[in-house]
Amino acid sequence: MIGRLNHVAIAVPDLEAAADQYRNALGANVGAPQDEPDHGVTVIFIELPNTKIELLYPLGEDSPINGFLEKNPAGGIHHVCYEVEDIIAARDHLKESGARVLGSGEPKIGAHGKPVLFLHPKDFNGCLVELEQV
């Protein structure tokens, strides 16, 4: 059901410093910051030959990233994102299998302009999983 790894998301306490590190120390192709108010984050995508890294920074006081950074002040891996062809079929299959879909269970539009869902980390070995329809 899942396709390729779309991205690994890393929550960071300083978005520009993290972008500079990838740009200058690693020589990566670093995109521009984009605010995602529906998700409470500002993101920067780093393009790699086989996937992407998504830097996450809180957007506003109600950002879900704030709690993560309180527990992990230096930042850290926040989630992995896998591609699926049909997000509704994937959601329904996962729910039938006992997995919990976070939020309302209805897809939201993600940073790539495509439908996304998040799955409870307790159902996936402590890893928050994002599914993105391609």
Pairing of strands 115-119, 76-84: unpaired
What pLDDT does 45 receive? 98
Structural domain that includes position 66: 2-133
- Alpha-carbon distance of 99 to 37, in angstroms, equals 26
| Pairing state between β 5-11 and 52-58 | parallel
pLDDT tens over the chain, length 134 residues: 999 999 999 999 999 999 999 999 999 999 999 999 999 999 999 999 999 999 999 999 999 999 999 999 999 999 999 999 999 999 999 999 999 999 999 999 999 999 999 999 999 999 999 999 99
Mind listing the pLDDT tens digit for each residue in 46-77?
999 999 999 999 999 999 999 999 999 999 99
Q: Mean of the per-residue pLDDT values for the chain?
A: 97
Q: Identify the active-site residue in 36, 106, 130, 132.
A: 130
3-class DSSP assignment, residue 133: strand
Total number of domains in the chain: 1
Tell me how far apart the alpha carbons of residues 75 and 91 are, in angstroms, rounded to a whole number: 29
pLDDT of residue 29: 97
Does residue 83 carry a catalytic annotation? no
- For residue 44, the domain's CATH number is 3.10.180.10
- Report the C-alpha gap between 90 and 35 in whole angstroms: 27
Round to whole Å and give the CA distance between 60 and 46: 23
- Confidence (pTM): 0.94
